[in-house]
Structure 1
Amino acid sequence: MALVDVKVLLEAGVHYGHRASKWNPKMRPYIYGKRNLIHIIDLRETVRGLLRAYKYLSQVVSRGGLVMFVGTKRQAKEIVEREASRAGMPFVSERWLGGTLTNYRTIRNRLKRLQELESMWLPAGADARKEDLNSYIAGLMTEAGKLDPALAPDTSDIRTHSKKMISTLSRELLKIRRNLMGIRDMVKLPDALVIVGPNKEHIAVKEAKRMGVTTIALIDTDSDPDPVDLPIPGNDDSIRSIEVVMAKLADACLEGRASLPPEQQHMIKPRTPAAPRPAPAAAAGAESNPAPAPAVS
């Protein structure tokens, strides 16, 4: 079976671009044609891009490298979290914080602060280094996503504070968790970024370029492919399209991990993804209409 099945790409609507009036001329080499004022992406170019990215990611991970998945647009958030977690890789699915790559020391300090805040909810005498703080804190949350002090152990440090201080500390904890949850276990800069929609993630692309981090991106017809090292032309607005491409790139990471010596494989392990969000309305592609599929030879 082929690594990339064109039929699967077609069924997922990967070939649907934006309205022709919204196009970026630099995407011309990746466009098959136009149907009903909608640009149709050449799936042969999508396959080539996917194969190049797959091979590259597999090699990076097989050498012990780290891959960060980035996608903060509504359609991509949950998919990025799920596939990155499956591959045991860091991710950013909320707001990209400026300096995530270029000022990593500050980010590490914020992560240390997160651990301090989470440790306050542990029973007295518990060793935070031996606890899965992520899962532990999640167990203290209400369905509304807020921390419930009543669920904290009686001997926890948080119980010694006033209600007002508990509220302040809880808000700080949740804010850091929301923004940095996906990179809390990252101990070094990534070797590559896998990005959904470089138009929206332009700050991440710029930081990666400055730090010499390779960028791989699912890129639509309204984007500039030049800043991206390994572009994968395709619909970056459709949930199904994003799912197909991100799953394939996560598979590449898992393949590379399997090549590592056994003593190194434990360093890259699947994580439990964040709690699922309410399913958003399906989107075939921003401002796109169903159009005849192109013939792909």
Structure 2
Amino acid sequence: MVCSLTCISASQLLTQDQTGRKALSPAGLRALTTQTTTATPDAVAEGAIPPTPKPPANSLIAKVSRPTQQQWSAIPKPDRDIATIPTEFNTFNRLQNRTRSLGSRVELRHDPDHLLKNPPDEASLEMLMANQAHMGHSTALWNPSNSRYIHGVREGIHIISLEQTAAELRRASRVVEEVAYYGGIILFVGTRPGQMPIVVRAAELAGGYHLFSKWTPGTITNRDQILGPMQLKIVDEMDQPVEGFDKHLLDRRPVVPDLVVCLNPLENWPMLRECAQENIPTIGVIDTNADPASVTYTIPANDDSLRTATVIAGVLGKAGQRGQARRLKDAALGEVTWRNPVEISKFLEIQAMIKHAEDEAARLNAEGAEQDRANKKIHGVMDAEELEAFKLLQDLERERRSKGGRRRGDE
């Protein structure tokens, strides 16, 4: 059998074998001997390699397959007249204007900074609850002094009574309004991340000051050293700068706030202790884990929520704005709601005496009454030598006071 196969030529392989199966063609034999995987046209035509089946029309391969260049050129292009484009555009605008009022319209869109931009005058119970003011801390962290502010317990967390919060917030806003009305300095403090725009906005409304960085210990108790380089200015009842107080500002000590509003008392207890030593009233947001005795006016609320801090600071800022508006309105009518400090009053008296003496001396010199003044002493009027001596004594006293203040600060 082997000998007969070796004598058969390749052209005679297209015969039927013993099993009746079709033998390989010469092209197929070449494809098998070269071991190639490329489907040549001859092999496909003669049936040695079956052609690649076409994917069905609804298959994913058929959907993502890109058409050929001939197919692209076969796509019919729309036969459109360019002159009709303006007419169609006008028709589209006319239909759009007719149907503009149809359908639903969103009147109020959600703005995360809405309460920061437009703070309310008063906070209702619904607003406080919506801004998470009632959420306290775990029952294991509570301070027993806050028992009068706690409404109950839910899932291991204390719930703050919002009725107490609203009442205390109204009282605190009244305090801020009156302090602003009498020309006091209000300081808003919030040092937690995210509280910077809150305290800045509240201070802007109330015409006060803000602090969003770490409190420097000794800013109030040792203000001669810490706040000494700070610039001061004297303003009138209309908040306009007043000239002529340069010498007085050299001797004056730095000012301290008349009221401090703290949004996170737990992190600012050194500041609260300094305020207590200097008898400065404070307003603080007290959570269930804080000590209400650390501040003068408590506002029981959630001190961890920025939304709660925004509502409380906004209400207090609006209260300060109302107080400032009342003060300026009365000042325009000639009613001043605040008094000058003792140091400024003394300085004004001394300056008035000096000016009176200078005016009298100038008047007598103009009238040529130098001989009369030498012969007859005018009561209550200083001559030029006495005026110079008085100014010299005043400069020496000012220098002595400044040296004494520096020694006390150094000690």
SS in 2 for 1:200: helix
Q: Structure 2: how far apart are the matches of 1:3 and 1:248?
A: 6
Is residue 250 from structure 1 mapped to residue 317 from structure 2 by the alignment? yes
| C-alpha distance in 2 between matches for 1:19 and 1:107 | 39
Equivalent position amino acid for 2:139 in 1: A
Unaligned runs of 5+ residues in structure 1 are: 113-128, 130-186, 266-297
Residues 136-174 of structure 1 show CA distances to partners (whole Å, capped at 9, x for unaligned) of: xxxxxxxxxxxxxxxxxxxxxxxxxxxxxxxxxxxxxxx
- Matching of residue 88 in structure 1 with residue 207 in structure 2: yes
Contact 2:121 2:318 in 1 (8 A): no
> How has the CA–CA distance of structure 1 residues 103 and 26 changed in structure 2, closer, same or farther, with 3 Å as cutoff?
same
Structure 1 residues 105, 233: CA separation in 2 closer, same or farther (over 3 Å shift)? Answer: same
Contact 2:262 2:282 in 1 (8 A): yes
Deviation, structure 1 residue 109: 2.5
Q: CA deviation at 1:88?
A: 2.0
Q: Which residue of 2 aligns with 1:219?
A: 286
In our comparison, the structure showing a higher alpha carbon Rg is 2
Q: Distance in 2 between matches of 1:77 and 1:219?
A: 19
1:32 aligns to what SS in structure 2?
A: strand
Q: CA deviation at 1:110?
A: 4.2
> How far is the alpha carbon of 1:100 from its aligned partner?
1.6
Summarize the Cα distance change of 1:264–1:245 in structure 2 as closer, same or farther, 3 Å threshold: same
Name whichever structure is richer in helix by fraction.
Answer: 2
1:193 aligns with 2:312: no
* Equivalent-residue separation in structure 2 for 1:98 and 1:42 (angstroms): 34
Give secondary structure in 1 for the equivalent of 2:167: helix
1:79 to 195, 198, 211: 198
Q: With CA pairs under 8 Å and 6+ residues apart, which has the higher RCO, 1 or 2?
A: 1
TM-score scaled to structure 2, two decimals?
0.45
- CA deviation map 1:8-45 (0-9, x unaligned): 00100000011111111111110001111111100011
Counterpart in the other structure of 1:100: 219
Report 1:98-177 matches (<5 A).
Answer: 98-111=217-230
Secondary structure of the 2:230 match is helix
1:257–1:9: structure 2 CA closer, same or farther, 3 Å change rule?
same
SS in 1 for 2:293: coil
Following the alignment from structure 2 to structure 1, what is the Cα–Cα distance between the partners of residues 214 and 326? 33
In structure 2, distance between residues paired with 1:263 and 1:33: 46
Q: Kindly state the Cα deviation for residue 85 of structure 1 after the two structures are TM-superposed.
A: 2.4
Name the amino acid aligned to 1:216: I
User: What's 2:300 paired with?
Assistant: 233
Other-structure match for 2:274: 207
SS at match of 2:136: strand
- The answer on 1:56 being equivalent to 2:149 is no
Q: Determine the C-alpha separation between the residues in 1 that align with 2:191 and 2:320.
A: 21
C-alpha separation in 2, matches of 1:78 and 1:56:
23
Runs of at least 4 residues of structure 1 off by over 6 A? none
Question: What is the rounded CA distance, in whole Å, between the counterparts of 1:58 and 1:80 in structure 2?
Answer: 17
Shift of 1:263: 8.6
Cα gap change, 1:67 to 1:39, in 2 (>3 Å): same
Query: Hey, what's the Cα distance between the residues in 2 that align with 1:264 and 1:100?
Result: 32
**8 Å CA contact retained: 2:188, 2:211:** yes
- 1:81 to partner: Cα distance: 2.0
**Closer, same or farther: CA 75–18 of 1 in aligned 2, 3 Å:** farther
Distance 1:47 1:64 in 2: 26
In 2, are the aligned partners of 1:197 and 1:220 still within 8 Å (CA)? Answer: no
Q: Give the aligned residue type for 2:188.
A: F
